[in-house]
Amino acid sequence: MVNINIKLLPYGTLARELVLSALSPLAFTASLGGTTLHIYEDEAVVCGPIDTLAQVFQNAQQLLLNKNKLPAINPHYNDRQVMAKIMRKLNLQVNDTYRDYVDALCSWAINDLQTNPDKWLESLDKINYSTKTITLGEPESAFSGFQPLKIEKYKYGKRFGDFRAQMDIKMDERWVALVLAGFGVCYSGFADGEIILSTIPEKVIMKAAVDFNWLNYVQQLTQSMGNFTVFQALMMLPYTVRATPELPHAYSLLLALELARIKPAHLSIREAPPYVFYRIMYTGQSFSLLERLSIDYSFLAPFVEKLSIPVNDNLRDFLRCTIIQARRQNNYCSNRYGDASLCDRLSRALYAAAAKVKPADETIYLLARSSPENSPFRRTDVLREIYNALS
């Protein structure tokens, strides 16, 4: 057993959240009395055999394999240049997509952990910083950070320990593998040039490391999704929803309805953890952070858990249409639920009623009077069930 010290970037940075999301499988083993994981301000400490880290890379590969309908995404030109240098150093042959980069470096890391465990201990515990650059790992072996990691530029610098940094990141090959593993874990959507990453909040990982009862409860909540660990299932949920979170009210309802649909009847989604989503625009030439948002949907349990499967299906279809039409007009959606403006207004009213800040009868009246003739919201039985669930 050894202490594996893994340096962390500042709170709220994408690279920090990717690393911690990659390490999340180790929180599961900690709750079972095995490897322990502790998270501090400037480092995470794993206590266990060094080859325990192989689980991190195996987990990332398995999740990417299961999220097989996600686009592979062609890399930025600068990232292709960086990867070419890494491939030459590691003697790898890799197709030029971010998905293939993740898979290849995870496979390399699993093997390298067996042959060079001491180098991993040294690299992960090493950080160098200047006024403009943070270097993770061995400085003489550092490569320029991949472009998606440079979306956070701090105009006046960000405090890191006793120093300030402009958040230009460099890292050696072992750090590249770890951060890309986190990218693979968190990658949950791509639409209209927008990459969606769903990360696990630190407080959730820390809770999982010490609270086995909670972890076991969430495991049962998601057991119908397949043979996944808790965190694998949680990272699969946004992928199964197949929507983007730019309308948080609609997306929160959609997540809640999806989990309520698949959970065992005797359990509640009240214990479901929140997510932090990153919306990153990728034009092929540059990356820019559109939004970082936290979404907690557990409070919607009293509403979504009273609905039958048919009405749940109707609402999920409506909410997907609401999100789709926020981007572009869709004939099916507009004919069934109305235009983008109406769908947004109805979904906001439904969210407000489910959150108990708007009367249920006002929301039902709005749904009944405003929806197109062929909408399920014009049916008395559907409206009655929604009203009863809101009341």
pLDDT single digits (tens) 117-139: 999 999 999 999 877 788 999 99
Categorize the per-residue pLDDT at 158 as very low, low, confident or very high, splitting at 50, 70 and 90: very low
CB-based contact 297:250 (threshold 8 Å): no
Strands of the 287-295 sheet, one edge to the other: 187-191, 194-199, 275-282, 287-295
Domain-ending residue, one of 139, 159, 186: 186
**How many structural domains comprise the chain?**
2
Same domain assignment for residues 280 and 371: yes
DSSP state of 149: G
Domain-ending residue, one of 160, 186, 212: 186
Same domain assignment for residues 109 and 230: no
Higher pLDDT: 29 or 153? It is: 29
What's the pLDDT tens digit per position in 274-309? 999 999 998 877 888 899 999 999 999 999 999 999
Domain-ending residue, one of 139, 160, 186: 186
Q: Which residues contact residue 26 at a Cβ distance below 8 angstroms, ignoring those fewer than 6 apart?
A: 35, 37, 46, 48, 52, 55, 56
Categorize the per-residue pLDDT at 100 as very low, low, confident or very high, splitting at 50, 70 and 90: very high
What confidence score (pLDDT) does residue 32 get? 56
What confidence score (pLDDT) does residue 230 get? 85
Same domain assignment for residues 116 and 237: no
Angle at 160 between CA 132 and CA 275, to 5 degrees: 105
Same domain assignment for residues 165 and 205: no
By mean pLDDT, which of 167-176, 256-265, 354-363 is the weakest? 167-176
C-alpha 155: how far from chain center: 26
Same domain assignment for residues 24 and 35: yes
Same domain assignment for residues 155 and 195: no
For the chain, how long is the longest CA-to-CA vector?
70
Using CA atoms, how far apart are residues 313 and 219, in angstroms rounded to an integer?
24
Same domain assignment for residues 126 and 226: no
What confidence score (pLDDT) does residue 211 get? 87
What's the pLDDT tens digit per position in 330-354? 999 999 999 999 999 999 999 999 9
Same domain assignment for residues 273 and 327: yes
Query: Considering the entire predicted model, what is its pTM?
Result: 0.91
Using CA atoms, how far apart are residues 174 and 180, in angstroms rounded to an integer?
10
Determine the residue type at 176: V
Question: Which of 146, 163, 167 has the alpha carbon at shortest distance from 155?
Answer: 167
Q: Which domain holds residue 80?
A: 2-186
Categorize the per-residue pLDDT at 152 as very low, low, confident or very high, splitting at 50, 70 and 90: low
Same domain assignment for residues 134 and 205: no
Q: Percentage of the chain with pLDDT > 70? A: 94
Determine phi and psi for 343, rounding to 5 degrees.
-60, -40
Same domain assignment for residues 152 and 198: no
Categorize the per-residue pLDDT at 167 as very low, low, confident or very high, splitting at 50, 70 and 90: low
Same domain assignment for residues 231 and 293: yes
Same domain assignment for residues 66 and 124: yes
What's the pLDDT tens digit per position in 201-235? 999 999 888 888 998 899 899 999 888 888 889 99
